[in-house]
Amino acid sequence: MSMSRSALALLVGLFSGSLLAAECPPLLQGELQQLRSQERIDLCQRFAGKPLLVVNTASHCGFAPQFKGLEALYQRYKGQGLEVLGVPSNDFRQEADNSEETATVCFVNYGVTFAMSEPQVVSGADALPLFRELAAQSSTPRWNFYKYVVGRDGKVIASFSSLTKPDDPDLIEAVEQAIASQP
């Protein structure tokens, strides 16, 4: 009898996991290693159903001061559900040589509290699945600090170039649209 209960529990667990994966938008399927942590970020578990701003970053880029504005944007809207995900990348040859330095730039120099991953490939054939899906829905990042605003349904609402600052009215409008969106 207990064998039947165990088997049933296993089947229910497997079925529930399959349902969750089926309900998770393609953009959010997968995991990323959290910056300077043993923790992994399960994209679906962490971000599904939430408005999201995804930014590819680089520690030694001239746009790195945007970390401060991104943090301010996150603080302003996190109470309304906004999540921000920073994804460091050396695709444009401006990321630190090691994660410790990347973490220092983000967390110490700019006071970032939003989610940051370990450095990833964000463009080209080897791009992280998250960025392949962002590119399919919008465009490939052309430089560091390219920004994607994603609605609660996991679809890109708008993307913005590196030149767009986090306090730009068009970016703010897209973030507010993502917050108001339905899953």
pLDDT in tens, 141-171: 999 999 999 999 999 999 999 999 999 999 9
- Give the DSSP H or E segment for 174: helix 169-180
Closest CA to 57 of 65, 49, 45: 65
Look at residue 10 and tell me whether its pLDDT is greater than 70. no
What does the alpha-carbon distance between residue 175 and residue 76 come to, in Å, rounded to a whole number? 11
Look at residue 15 and tell me whether its pLDDT is greater than 90. no
Look at residue 13 and tell me whether its pLDDT is greater than 50. no
- Give the DSSP H or E segment for 116: strand 115-116
**pLDDT in the model for residue 141:** 97
Mean pLDDT of the chain: 90
Confidence of residue 6 (pLDDT cuts 50, 70, 90): very low
**pLDDT in the model for residue 105:** 97
pTM over 0.85: yes
**pLDDT in the model for residue 183:** 83
**pLDDT in the model for residue 116:** 98
Residues with catalytic function? 61
Q: Give me the domains of the chain, ranges plus CATH numbers.
A: 26-180 (3.40.30.10)
Percent of the chain whose predicted confidence (pLDDT) is above 90: 86
Largest CA distance in the chain: 65
What does the alpha-carbon distance between residue 51 and residue 119 come to, in Å, rounded to a whole number? 23
> Is 130:137 a contact under the CB 8 Å cutoff?
no
pLDDT in tens, 38-87: 999 999 999 999 999 999 999 999 999 999 999 999 999 999 999 999 99
> Is 101:59 a contact under the CB 8 Å cutoff?
yes
Question: In the chain, what is the straight-line distance between the N-terminal and C-terminal CA atoms, in Å?
Answer: 41
Closest CA to 111 of 142, 67, 47, 152: 67
Q: Beta strand pairing status for 52-57 and 83-88?
A: parallel
